Amino acid sequence: MAIPSSSLHAAICDRRMWHAQMEGVGARNQAIAYDRRGFGETRADEEAFSDVADLMAVMGAVTGGTPAVLVACSAGGRIALDAALLHPSLIRGLVLISPSVSGAPEAEYPPQSRPSWLS
């Protein structure tokens, strides 16, 4: 039986970051990678929206309510975690790569290891 999966990209990428994985996983399973609002080929209008609600709408359209495995990186991980907490019956599992976490405190870096982009 094919296991549905959805891949959520990092905040500095779009669905193309999962291209190689989609070829492999998609050969035997139902696998999707989509552009979140404002990324890749989508646009984000000036309106309130929920990344989790968008994810659930995509999953509902593709899986028809079958629980899916979410594969996510960085900001996509935050969305996957939030979706799993809000909709546990629709999430079969999580594969998280360096996820951000809603409500977590901001990272504090000592001066000698402060990333250059924060300078």
pLDDT for 85 = 96
- Strand positions, DSSP E, the chain: 5-8, 31-33, 68-73, 91-97
The sign of the CA dihedral 53, 58, 64, 68 is: negative
In the DSSP assignment, the letter for residue 39 is: S
pLDDT-derived band at 116, boundaries 50, 70, 90: low
For each of the domains in the chain, give its residue range(s) and CATH number, in order of start. 5-101 (3.40.50.1820)
| pLDDT per residue as tens digits for the range 76-115 | 999 999 999 999 999 999 989 888 888 888 877 787 776 6
In this predicted model, what pLDDT tens digit does every residue of 5-48 receive, in sequence order?
Answer: 677 777 778 788 777 787 777 777 778 888 888 888 887 778 88
